[in-house]
Each structure stands twice: as C-alpha cells, then as structure tokens.
Chain A
Amino acid sequence: MNMKLDGKVPPGPLEEKWKQYRSTMNLVAPNNKRRIEIIVVGTGLAGASAAATLGELGYQVKAFTFHDSPRRAHSIAAQGGINAAKNYQNDGDSIYRLFYDTIKGGDYRSRESNVYRLAEVSNNIIDQAVAQGVPFAREYGGLLDNRSFGGVQVSRTFYARGQTGQQLLLGAYQALARQIAQGSVTMYNRHEMLDLVMVDGKARGIIARNLLTGKIERHAAHCVVLGTGGYGNVFYLSTNAMNSNGSAAWRTVRRGALMANPCFTQIHPTCIPQHGEYQSKLTLMSESLRNDGRVWVPKKQEDAKAIREGKKTGNDIPEEDRDYYLERRYPAFGNLVPRDVASRAAKTVCDEGLGVAPTGLAVYLDFESAIERYGKSSAHSQGINNPSDAKIRELGKAVVSEKYGNLFEMYEKITGDNPYETPMMIYPAVHYTMGGIWVDYNLETNIPGLFATGECNFSDHGANRLGASALMQGLADGYFVLPYTIGQFLSDEIRTPQIDPSHEAFDKTEQDVKDRIEQLLSIKGSKSVESFHRRLGKIMWDYCGMSRNAEGLKSGRKMIRELQEEFYKDVLVPGTNEEYNPELEKALRVADFLELGELMMVDALHREESCGGHFREEYQSEEGEALRDDEHFAFVSAWEYNGWEEEPVLHKEDLVFENVELKTRSYK
C-alpha cells in the first residue's frame, strides 16, 4: 500500500515561507525544555552543530559518536570550502542565485522550498563560524576572501586553506565542548548506534554498543536526531573515512523510515587514482584545484600508450597534441563544470583509450599555465621588468603553493610525484551520497520523532551536489533549521514523562541486536569481513557506478544476493562481543551495506532516465549528455524496505517546481 508523502511545505511565496513559518511555529517553553531529552547520533558538522545548539536552547541532549572524540568525524576531511550568498565580491550573487544554482546543479531533483531555505541561512553560517574563531582566508584589508567552485559563475566559496572542513568542524566541536562542560550535553564517545527503539509508533531511543566493553546499552529520549553521514563506503573504495558507514541510518530504515533516492551517488572527478589491490581508500584532491588546474589527455592514442608504458611523461606532449576536453566540450564553464559532468567526461576519454596512468584510468590536472600566469602577475606587482622564465616559474610556484600547498604536499606524499613539475594524475572516485533518509520540511522522517540532518538525509542536493555545499547543508541543518523545526514535534510532548528504558520495546530491540551479533560471531567461516566488503564494492562500482544500464543492474543485484548468502555462511569474525573488537563492528556494517547496495541497484533500475550522478546508458543524447525525463520521473523515490525476503515498496513524492523552469541542464 503506497502512502501519501507529505513534505509539509509551508504556504506562501518562496521567499517568505521560512520567515513566516519560523515566526508561527510552536515553541517549547524554557521550563519544559529542561525536562525534554534528545538523542543526537553522530558528531560531524550536522550532529555537533545540532547537539550544541539544542544544548544552548536548554534541552537535555545525549550525543553519540563511535569515534574516540567528536572531533574525528569525517567532516574534518572536507577541503575546499563552504558556500554562502553574501555577495561580498559584488559579482551578482544573491540568495536566489545560490538557490537556483543548487536546484540546477542537482538536475531538478530536489525540493524547492528546502533548497531556498538552505540558501537563506547560508549567510548566518559564515557569521557564526567567524564568531567561533574559524580562521577563514582573508584579504589584506582584513575582510573575508572567496573563491569559485564548480557549476557556478560567481565567487561565493569561503575557505580556510585546503582545510575548511577541519576548521568548521573544530568550531562546532568547541561549541559542543562548551555545552558538555555546562552539563546540557552528555557525550557518549566510542558508542555505536545499532538500532532504533520505537514506542507506540514514535522514535524514543536507541540501542548502542559500547565499543570498548561490548556492552549493549539502552538510551531513551523524547526524540532521536540522526547526523550520521553518507553511505559512500558501500563502494569499499571511496574518499570517505574507513569507519564511515550507513548502519545507523539503515537500521532506522529497517524500522520503517523511508530511504530516498539511494542511487544518487556523487563520483568526484578529482581523486588520486587507484594504484594497488591492497589499497584501503581513495584520496580526494579538492575541487578548488579546478580553479587553476586544466584537465587534459593526449589527443593521440599512441602518446597515451607511451605514457602508460612509462616511455613518455605528460611534459613530453606538445601543446597542440593535448586535448583540454572540458574546455572544448563546455566552453561556458570549462574546467569548472559540475562534478557529475566532469567525472563522466573523464570516463569517456579513458574508455576511448586516452587515459594516462599504467592502469589507463587517469587524466591530467595541469598547473603549468597557472604557474606562468601567476608568475607574470607576481613579477609585475613586484616591479620586476623582463623576468626570466625561471624567475616567472619560481614566483608562480610560490603563489600556487600559498593557495594549494597542503594539497600538493599530500599528493606528493601519496604518489611520490612532484605536481609542481609534472602534471597531477586524477580519476573519479565515490565521494558523497545525495540519497538518504526521506525527510519533510521539518527534517522529520516518516517516523514521528525521528529526524535526519546533513548527508544522511536526502533533501537538498537532488541528483548531484555542488562543491562546497555539503558543509553548508550540514551546518544549516544543525545550527539554523532543526533547532526550530524540532519544536513542532516536541511542543506536543511536554506532557510526556521521561521515556522509561525498561519498557518492553527496549527489551525486544535489545534482544534483536544481541541476536544479530550472536549470529555473526557464530558463523566462524573462512573469509574476512574485509574480503566481502571489497567484493561488494567491486560489484557496486562495475554495475552501479559512473554509468549504469538495465542489464548490468539486474545482474549486479543478483551478484549481491549471492554474495550476501555467502557472507552469512562463510564470514569469519574473530573474538567475542565482550571486548574491543573492530572486526565485529565492521561485520555489522558490511551486513547492512549488502542490503543497502541491493536497494541502490533496485532504485537505479527503476529510474529510467539520466539525471545528475545517475547516468543510465539507455538515456543519453547523441552527444552523450544525460537525458532527463521530467514527464515521468520528476519525483523522489522513497523506498520502504522490509528485509531482503520481500521486494522493496516504492512511495513517491512528486516534485513541484513553482519558481524555476525545468530546463535541460547545459554548461556549454
């Protein structure tokens, strides 16, 4: 039975919705806030900012992370920056333009009202972060500096060298630390959520495992907020951290929450290419590099072959034999096309045999012309007349180093190559998941009292996220949206006494968790968890990666089923539950990835169109661009999942566009 999904979008013109709604929504009085308990799972940008802000408001917050400290969440690794519609550069930016760019960048598969609100609060985030002491880049006049990111034609990205995520997360972590010290937030480090507890149809608590002792614990609250990040690690190799996983969110799906657009995955165009079978993860090179780096491959097959065989390097290829394919195909945006477009273009040239690494899976990102341009400008401003080529290079390298030094250093550490001298090699890799738990305008899921924030919800990025928008969304949700909207639920709960963790619903859920752990430990098979994860990742990448087709998705689904059966017969989890046991943690996560991966295949098969990161080979133009089908697929696919014995059930939320015209996305 399909349920009607109500996005609860408030009435009124787009520009007024949030303002009006915020002033009329229900409030919880301070004396009641003190009695109300909220569980926040995850302490990345979304979770930490939410927990800190809810604590400041006077609620009793319990925050959970599986890390040893909230500061380790993977938001910390975000490099490039955070968008805001400040228009400090006077280049024509506005809230509407940020909204429009995000809707268009997402290929018209997100909800207008949520995206507009995101653009609206983006400016508050910058103010808040500055006040917290985030050391953003500055101009000589002491004011904030900006740079450009993909898919837009203004400079609206605020940054702190190549470590913007780190600085913003530390800001949120410090705000959280202040609340912990004041006693409004109780922090549970090294605790992993393993299930959601529902009492009378509402989210009322979680079952968590203490990762040091293995103790299975019950935690009760009036409501539960997820800020648990994305599920990109279903692909095994991704830019996500090793421990990033989808389990907390997936467990709520197993309790009835809907999973929206799970097949919308972002493959980031600029990552360091894979180099060996033992490799554990992929490393991102920030999109900000595309401000100055030019992407190319050799024009001639024989040059590409010689480079692959180590007989030539990129420097040996003369200018006229290079194909700057992004500049050629997309003159209006050039190297700064959105991520999905840049990634597919890289795949296309590598498929044509023009890739440059020994594996054939890499393209160049070249800084030579930037070094020359900056060198000349620097010589000019220092009053050096007729500088030598060597001087120009020296000055140019200094400018590039100031902008991207830490990224160049990281590249050299990993590959052993010096990117100031030879062009960087890059290839697309899984980076972010736009899909996630379905939420309404209040960020509440279809389970009353269960909220989802940041990457773990689906709401703002449609089928493709623009660069520097993940940090914006995580902090928007946590600082400026959820702390208001959660009141809509909690204002009806002021008469609800403290939730009793000895309620039978807790008994039952705790037993379910213990049974799952016991099952995994008792298999005592012959293959490590890691080996299953690696094989799952390969299936996902081959059949549900940068391009997909019906036949591949069907066989991919079948292969996951077979892998899953093998997993439950032959996985080897050493040790016991009652100890520090990272292998058991991994086994629980991979078991969930197997189910989630299958649902991604189902979703990708069902969506018979190409949009954003979802490229179906059957639906493309003659030039190889994505063909969207607005007539049949302008909706959110929200899946109900009842275990792998049953077919997932699709529920649709129609996407209504009242303020933007649905157009074919063009960056030409």
Chain B
Amino acid sequence: MKLTLKIWREGGEYKRGQFVTYQMDDVHADMSFLEMLDVLNESLIAEGKMPVAFEHDCREGICGSCGMVINGYAHGQLQGTTACQLHMRHFKDGDTVVIEPWRSKAFPVIRDLVVDRSSFDRIIEAGGYISVGTGQAPDGNNIPVEKDKASHAFDAATCIGCGACVAACPNASAMLFVSAKVSHLAQLPQGNVEAKRRARKMVQQMDDEGFGYCSNISACEAECPKEISIEHIARLNREYLSTSLSSEETASS
C-alpha cells in the first residue's frame, strides 16, 4: 500500500520543530509500524540524511521504550497495543498518517519522536518500592496472598512506564502511572505497610516534575497499551487522602 507520513522532526537540521512529509510506496500489511519506519529510515540514510529518531527496543510491547502519537492517539488507534505491536494491516492504501512525539512539559523532546521520560524514574525513586534489603526476606509461602488480590495487584503491575497516559491526558497528568505503582504495592500485604507514605511521596514528586492534575477524563485508561484501569487512581486517592488526614504521618517526614 501507499502511505503519506507527516512526521514531527526536531533537532539536527531541523532547528525548529516542524512536520515533514514523506511518501511511502511499498508498505506491507504484515509490517509492524516501527518496521515501516525502519524502511523509511533506510531510504533516508541512503540519501545521506539523518533518519527519524524514535525509541524502541524489545518490539514485543513490554519494554515501554516506544511511544508516539499516531493520528492523534498514543500508540495509535488500536486499543491495548504499543506502537511496536501495531501492524500495518490496520491502515488503508492512500492513508495519511500523522506521527508526533509525546507532548508534555515533564517530557521534553530530545530529538524528533524521542522524549526525556526520566521524570518517571524520579517518581519511582521517591517511593515506588518496598523497603526490603537483599537477604531480609522470609520464606515466600510465609506471606499468603489471596489469589484475586494477587491478580489485581498484577493488573496494576503490568504498567510498562511508556508515558502514553501522560500523552493522552489533556492535562498531561501522570496519575495513571503513579496510581498503578501505588495500587500494585498497596494491595499486597508486604507492600501495605508503607502504603500511605509511598502514596504521599510519589504524588509530591509527580507534582514537582510539572505533570498536570487529574480531572477524571479517563483518556489515560482508553489509550493505555496495557489497559490499566482508572480504578487504581481511585485507590491512590484513598491512600493519599488518608495520609493527608493523618497528622502523625505528615509530621514524620
């Protein structure tokens, strides 16, 4: 099939960011979206030009590296799918495809479609863990976990940290990302101990990074490639609210 691509280029020869149009003449239905970009890049390199920069690694939808807004949707219109797992059979001959980087103050553009997501790492560093050192653990079966609880915790833990939730949100809020981690750990007995402190610190860091506020639009859930539910945001709000009401918690750090 033939496609027209309008791709955001920024950096290098494109001192000011702009859309650049490319024609693709021979796109196969079985290609992944990123393989289609590989083919474009090979042709750019052959002309001695810099290829379109985009991040990618596992190409199995699990590492969270890739991410781009495709025709207005984070990772494209197909639900529950990362850009690397989106295949060209979902496009039609003659389509125009607009490709942009994530847009958020907290994700500055590095080049073309590549953005800086280190703010997500700093949010995890603020408290997205269970405070246990190597060698301190009791036997695994000493901590029984209800099957359904483990399963719900798992649903939250599947977050791949790609940033699609932020890109999808008109406020560029990171609530789905933060809540997924808070909810994953708070639902497990071993993580519940420091759940309130964790919620408070992660939310504080999220605010400091310049992410917007959540106003319950739920575009994040709709565009999350792992289909993480906004239920977790409700759970985060509960943990956060109870922590702000508890003066002892607030005073202790």
Residues on A facing B (Cβ under 8 Å): 49, 52-53, 56, 67-72, 74, 76-77, 86, 88, 124, 126-133, 135-144, 160-161, 163, 166-167, 170, 173-175, 177-178, 180-181, 187, 189, 212, 241-243, 275-276, 278-281, 283-284, 409-410, 413-414, 416, 479-480, 483, 528, 530-531, 572, 574-575, 579-580, 582-583
Q: A131-B190, A133-B129 are in contact. List 5 more A-B contacts (CB 8 A).
A: A53-B133, A77-B60, A189-B121, A280-B59, A413-B81
Whether B116 is near chain A, meaning CB under 8 Å from some CB there, is yes
B184 adjacent to A133 (CB under 8 Å): yes
* A71 and B64 in contact, given A133-B191, A580-B114 (Cβ under 8 angstroms): yes
B87 adjacent to A189 (CB under 8 Å): no
Using a CB-CB cutoff of 8 Å, which residues 111-158 of chain B contact chain A?
A: 111, 114, 116-118, 120-121, 124-126, 128-141, 143-147, 150-151, 153-154, 157-158
Residues on B facing A (Cβ under 8 Å): 11-12, 28, 30-32, 34-35, 38-39, 42, 45-46, 48-51, 53, 55-65, 80-81, 85, 87, 89, 110-111, 114, 116-118, 120-121, 124-126, 128-141, 143-147, 150-151, 153-154, 157-158, 160-161, 184-185, 188, 190-191
B129 adjacent to A175 (CB under 8 Å): yes
For the complex, what is the distance from the CA of A575 to the CA of B28, rounded to whole Å? Answer: 29
Who on chain A is nearest to B130 by CB?
A133
Q: Which residues of A contact B110 (CB under 8 A)?
A: 212, 580
Q: Which residues of B contact A137 (CB under 8 A)?
A: 150
Q: How far is the CB of A187 from chain B (nearest CB, A)?
A: 8
- Between A and B, how many residue pairs show CB distances below 8 Å? 214
B131 adjacent to A178 (CB under 8 Å): yes
B38 adjacent to A278 (CB under 8 Å): yes
Q: Which residues of A contact B138 (CB under 8 A)?
A: 127, 131
* A69 and B120 in contact, given A53-B134, A175-B134 (Cβ under 8 angstroms): yes
Q: What would 16 A/B residue contacts be, using CB atoms closer than 8 Å?
A: A72-B63, A76-B63, A77-B58, A131-B136, A133-B130, A163-B62, A163-B158, A167-B154, A177-B124, A178-B125, A187-B121, A242-B56, A278-B35, A278-B39, A530-B38, A572-B45
Q: Which residues of A contact B154 (CB under 8 A)?
A: 135, 160-161, 167
A528 adjacent to B87 (CB under 8 Å): no
Q: Which residues of A contact B130 (CB under 8 A)?
A: 131-133, 174
Q: Which residues of A contact B45 (CB under 8 A)?
A: 528, 530, 572, 574, 583
Q: How far is the CB of B150 from chain A (nearest CB, A)?
A: 5
In the A-B complex, list the 3 residue pairs whose CB atoms are closest, starting with the nearest.
A142-B144, A174-B129, A131-B137
Q: How far is the CB of B131 from chain A (nearest CB, A)?
A: 7
Q: Which of B117, B128, B153 is most buried by chain A, counting CB atoms within 10 A of its CB?
A: B128
Who on chain B is nearest to A135 by CB?
B154
Who on chain A is nearest to B129 by CB?
A174
For the complex, what is the distance from the CA of A531 to the CA of B43, rounded to whole Å? Answer: 12
For the complex, what is the distance from the CA of A140 to the CA of B146, rounded to whole Å? Answer: 7
Q: How far is the CB of B89 from chain A (nearest CB, A)?
A: 6
Who on chain A is nearest to B111 by CB?
A580
